[in-house]
Amino acid sequence: MRRLSALSVLAAGSVLASGAFVPAQAATAAAPTITAKGGYVMNNGTGKDLYKKAADTRLSTGSTTKIMTARVVLAQPNLNLNSKVTIQKAYSDYIVDNNWASSARLIVGDKVTVRQLLYGLMLPSGCDAAYALADKFGSGSTRAARVKSFIGKMNSTAKSLGLKNTNFDSFDGIGHGKNYSTPRDLTKLASSAMKYSTFRSVVKTKKTTQKTVTKSGGYRNMTWENTNPLLGTYSGTIGVKTGSGPEAKYCLVFAATRSGKTVIGTVLASSSVPNRTADAKKLLTYGFTK
């Protein structure tokens, strides 16, 4: 009977060397296996690491680069989100010239507000919207100079945030050999961007219709749907951004809140769109157990 009692005690809890009795805890969930080359998850409130796989390995970022594009815009002093930008032919030509460029289908001559450009940037992942924002918020007398200036702001922001393994050579992720980050750095970037209420509002939006002003002075309705598959399929999702490309493969920066806890993370270079989504869901679910 004494042996049975001892077994019962061990089953019910554990006895520390000090003699204190501690109730048994549920077994810690095993870390998931993901197809992505790199992954990282943290508690957004505390900054605690919750999952790491090649977390500091430099990888191509694809359109997750646009998180930094938005972050730079939102940090501009005296930002007027309602100021209008006239869509230039160069922005649409850029889409035509780059096969991997995703588009917000902005119309040349339309006047679009900065706030609307942020929706066009983050929901359909518009490279034309990214170009318009870089042209608007860069400095210089030529478009090329302004774009170069804007990318410089992206890199100086990365440095100020302590993102030591991050570099940008494009405003949208269509890089030229030097556009890279890591799962950890991108997660920290997203966490920083989520401090802006406008960013939070944009990236949690599943679909929006925005009214723009046409060249003739009329109005046009632009409807954009979010490329983030977690919105509406994973409870508590609040963002953030997809990415893809020949080098980047399939990427996703993600965040969700449940019971007051926000988990935020990144997967880079997953093998397909379905696997990218599955990887993110696994890591979120695991993060909420930690």
The response to whether 241 counts as a known ligand-binding position is yes
Distance between CA atoms of residues 156 and 163, nearest Å: 10
pLDDT at 149: 98
Distance between CA atoms of residues 16 and 158, nearest Å: 46
Please write the tens of the pLDDT for every residue from 233-276. 999 999 999 999 899 999 999 999 999 999 999 999 999 999 99
What would the two tokens of residue 84 be? 């209008």
Domain assignment present for 24: no
Q: For strands 219-225 and 207-213, give the pairing.
A: antiparallel
Please write the tens of the pLDDT for every residue from 93-152. 999 999 888 999 999 999 999 999 999 999 999 999 999 999 999 999 999 999 999 999
Helix runs in the chain, H state only: 2-12, 66-74, 89-97, 114-122, 127-137, 143-160, 183-193, 197-203, 273-289
Higher pLDDT, 17 or 171: 171
The domain of 117 spans 38-289
Averaged pLDDT, 222-232:
97
Distance between CA atoms of residues 258 and 59, nearest Å: 30
Please write the tens of the pLDDT for every residue from 174-199. 988 899 999 999 999 999 999 999 99
Averaged pLDDT, 2-31:
47
Are 50 and 278 spatial neighbours (Cβ–Cβ below 8 Å)?
A: no
pLDDT at 29: 77
Cβ atoms within 10 Å of 35's Cβ, excluding its own: 18
| Amino acid (one-letter) located at 225 | E
pTM over 0.85: yes
Domain assignment present for 118: yes
| Amino acid (one-letter) located at 101 | A
Going by pLDDT thresholds of 50, 70 and 90, the confidence category of residue 90 is: very high
- How many domains does one find in the chain? 1
Angle 127-137/114-122 helices, nearest 10 degrees? 140
Domain assignment present for 3: no
Domain assignment present for 232: yes
CATH number, residue 110 = 3.40.710.10
Distance between CA atoms of residues 228 and 284, nearest Å: 14
Residues annotated catalytic, as ranges: 63, 66, 125
Domain assignment present for 180: yes
Residue bearing tokens 């880079």: 268
